[in-house]
Amino acid sequence: EVQLEESGGGLVQPGGSLRLSCAASEFILSDHYMDWVRQAPGKGLEWVGRTRNKANSYTTEYAADVKGRFTISRDDSNNSLHLQMNSLNIDDTAVYYCVRNAKGDYYFDLWGQGTLVTVSS
């Protein structure tokens, strides 16, 4: 089955770090632009960042709120995507989704189930 599965969420103290992973099944991740989107408890959706596909050198874009703190990377050997989150603060508490863009295009077509990150002392 074509799917995305996130992992790595959990409880972290303010100022701490966490690394999320997103494993892709039944498709080649490197062919697609990939995004991270988050949703704070009871709130709407917020874009976090993007990595372009291999053909576009995996270049990245980030939301202003996370630029310089979050880093998106890929592991082609494991067909996976990562989100390294540093200097976490309470406002980063959210469910984090990895999202695939349609092949050769720039719209979302497949979402993972999400992983919860809680930043609290």
- Applying CB under 8 A, the span of 13-21, 51-59, 79-87, 105-113 interacting with other proteins comes to 105-113
Amino acid letter for position 99 = V
* 7 contacts other proteins (rule: CB under 8 A): no
The single-letter DSSP state of residue 114 is -
Token digits for 93?
């508490």
Residue 35 contacts other proteins per CB under 8 A: yes
Contact 6, 112 (CB under 8 A): yes
- 96 contacts other proteins (rule: CB under 8 A): no
- Both tokens of 120, joined, read 């609290």
Q: Which residues bind other proteins (CB under 8 A)?
A: 35, 37, 44-47, 50, 61, 63-64, 97, 102, 105-114
